[in-house]
A and B are shown apart, each in its own frame.
Chain A
Amino acid sequence: MEKLRHMMNPLDFSVEELESLFDLAGEIERDMEGYSHKCDGKILATCFYEPSTRTRLSFETAMLRLGGKCMGFADASNSSAAKGESVADTIRVISCFADICAMRHPKEGAPMVAASKSSIPVINAGDGGHQHPTQTLTDLLTIRSLYGKLSNFTIGLCGDLKFGRTVHSLINALSRYEGIRFIFISPKELRVPDYITEMLRQKGIPYEEVIKLEDIMPQLDFLYMTRVQKERFFNEEDYIRLRNFYILDKEKMALAKENMFILHPLPRVNEISVELDDDPRAAYFKQVQYGLYVRMALILTLLNIK
């Protein structure tokens, strides 16, 4: 019997396993029709304890495109959590109904607790400010598709690097590839957490922390923009003070390399000016498409469907 696998953290898969996953995503991109019945009869449960339209719809579309069905909840108030049910009990129940579960939870580590009690594969669809592995898989697939490889480039990560879980997951994942250099661009209040910089120092991976976006634009091969999220702040005053700190516009983009791609996990508020949407370097909507392919590939892989 195959060992039950989950996706909690991008590091759950080896670099080689990720290559296979991305190859499969590539095949799906080329031949979507050929995969449209791979999950006939299978059910995906989407257990979303906090709102997320994009990620939830991407998971559900992925399963529907594979021929499977979806059920679940989009808000904790519509679930037994509102009655005080534990995550452990919820997943035990969901395991009786579905074949695979995607879980988003505001509490960090909740999907890990679910995975430890589950008899079906669990995918972490975002846990608080901690991890968001499928966004990372999306980001990696996007970089690999645009750049042709996942090594030897300089990536700038800009905005909320403290609470931005997509950022933490992406740094962890990229730290396994050769020749990656990180430049962190953020106000000092939103710097990347010390456990990430600790890890980079331990692995001897070069990184730089800067305040101004303009200064380092010419050095970048990729710029990963993030939103300053209101829900991650304890008070509104701090949020209002910091939200407009870093806005990417045509003026700043004029300093960038001609082939420097802009990535963003979306939703965007105002950190990327809409005037850049038609710039060929704006890759953030392509990312959404890659997100669908990679989630389809992940569902097939975790369900062990060839």
Chain B
Amino acid sequence: MLNIGKIEEGFVLDHIKAGKSMQIYRHLGLDNMDSTVAIIKNAKSKAMGKKDILKVECDINSLDLDVLAFIDHNITVNVIKDGEIIEKRSLVLPKEITGVIKCHNPRCISSIEQELPQIFYLADEEKEIYRCRYCDEKYSESDIM
């Protein structure tokens, strides 16, 4: 059994679908932060069989977690302060996502315009459908960058 110590302040992201933790690591911008991060892959889970867990030691106001709702809203977000869980945060789908999905439409201006941010908007909250801001193309899972 692998043991990883408690964190004083930060987040524990639990119930991540096995194999998705690195994608989340990137999209949360953790590679650009000077924080202690533990990535646990393929941990045993009664409910899921296997799961990933991310532990991030950081100021709890320093991370924008909206993108998690888009990637997988079944993730449990535990907010830690003074070594204790102070909140289980629910995830809300962001109205707009930048730099997470790449439009796959070859006719979209984002396929050729230099340094144009990839922006998707929430077109249908109920069905969780995002569309490209420029061409209205619907994203598919393979478009996640």
Chain A residues with CB under 8 Å of chain B are 86-88, 105-110, 112-113, 127-130, 194-195, 198, 202
| B60 at interface, CB cutoff 8 A | no
Chain A residues with CB under 8 A of B133: 109, 112
* Residue in B111, B127, B129, B138 whose CB lies within 8 Å of A107: B111
Q: What are 29 A-B pairs at a CB distance below 8 A? A: A86-B114, A87-B109, A87-B113, A88-B114, A105-B109, A107-B108, A107-B111, A107-B112, A107-B113, A108-B108, A108-B136, A108-B137, A109-B132, A109-B133, A109-B135, A110-B109, A110-B134, A112-B134, A113-B109, A113-B113, A113-B116, A113-B134, A127-B135, A128-B135, A129-B107, A194-B138, A195-B136, A198-B123, A198-B129
**How far apart sit A113 and B133, CA to CA, in the bound complex (Å)?**
10
Q: Shortest CB–CB separation between residue A49 and chain B, in angstroms? A: 11
Beyond A107-B108, A108-B109, A113-B134: 16 further Cβ-contacts under 8 Å? A86-B113, A88-B114, A88-B116, A107-B111, A107-B112, A108-B105, A112-B109, A113-B116, A127-B109, A128-B135, A130-B135, A194-B138, A195-B123, A195-B136, A198-B123, A198-B129
Scoring A106, A108, A110 by chain B CB atoms within 10 A of each residue's CB, the highest score goes to A108
**How far apart sit A127 and B108, CA to CA, in the bound complex (Å)?**
9
| B131 at interface, CB cutoff 8 A | yes
| B21 at interface, CB cutoff 8 A | no
> What 4 A-B pairs have minimum CB-CB distances, sorted nearest first?
A109-B134, A108-B135, A107-B109, A109-B109
Closest chain A residue, CB of each to CB of B138 = A195
**How far apart sit A112 and B113, CA to CA, in the bound complex (Å)?**
12
Q: Is the interface of B mostly helix, strand, loop or mixed?
A: loop
- Also in contact, A108 and B114, with CB within 8 A (given A198-B124, A202-B124): no
Chain B residues with CB under 8 Å of chain A are 105, 107-114, 116, 123-124, 127, 129, 131-138
Chain B residues with CB under 8 A of A130: 107, 135-136
Chain B residues with CB under 8 A of A108: 105, 107-109, 134-137
**How far apart sit A195 and B131, CA to CA, in the bound complex (Å)?**
9
Contact between chains at A128 and B138 (CB < 8 Å): no
Chain A residues with CB under 8 A of B109: 87, 105, 107-110, 112-113, 127
Chain A residues with CB under 8 A of B138: 194-195
Chain A residues with CB under 8 A of B135: 108-109, 127-128, 130
**How far apart sit A198 and B124, CA to CA, in the bound complex (Å)?**
9
**How far apart sit A147 and B85, CA to CA, in the bound complex (Å)?**
66
Chain A residues with CB under 8 A of B107: 106-108, 128-130
Chain B residues with CB under 8 A of A195: 123, 131, 136, 138
**How far apart sit A198 and B128, CA to CA, in the bound complex (Å)?**
13
Contact between chains at A88 and B108 (CB < 8 Å): no
Closest chain A residue, CB of each to CB of B123 = A195
**How far apart sit A98 and B127, CA to CA, in the bound complex (Å)?**
44
**How far apart sit A108 and B107, CA to CA, in the bound complex (Å)?**
6
Q: Shortest CB–CB separation between residue A171 and chain B, in angstroms? A: 13
**How far apart sit A106 and B135, CA to CA, in the bound complex (Å)?**
11
Chain A residues with CB under 8 A of B105: 108
Closest chain B residue, CB of each to CB of A163 = B107
Chain B residues with CB under 8 A of A202: 124
Q: Shortest CB–CB separation between residue B140 and chain A, in angstroms? A: 12
Closest chain B residue, CB of each to CB of A130 = B135
Chain B residues with CB under 8 A of A106: 107
**How far apart sit A110 and B110, CA to CA, in the bound complex (Å)?**
8
Chain A residues with CB under 8 A of B132: 109
**How far apart sit A257 and B138, CA to CA, in the bound complex (Å)?**
38
**How far apart sit A113 and B135, CA to CA, in the bound complex (Å)?**
11
Chain B residues with CB under 8 A of A128: 107-108, 135
**How far apart sit A46 and B93, CA to CA, in the bound complex (Å)?**
40
**How far apart sit A117 and B87, CA to CA, in the bound complex (Å)?**
42
Closest chain B residue, CB of each to CB of A232 = B107
Closest chain B residue, CB of each to CB of A196 = B136
Closest chain B residue, CB of each to CB of A234 = B106
Q: Shortest CB–CB separation between residue B67 and chain A, in angstroms? A: 22
Chain B residues with CB under 8 A of A88: 113-114, 116
**How far apart sit A113 and B110, CA to CA, in the bound complex (Å)?**
9
Closest chain A residue, CB of each to CB of B110 = A109
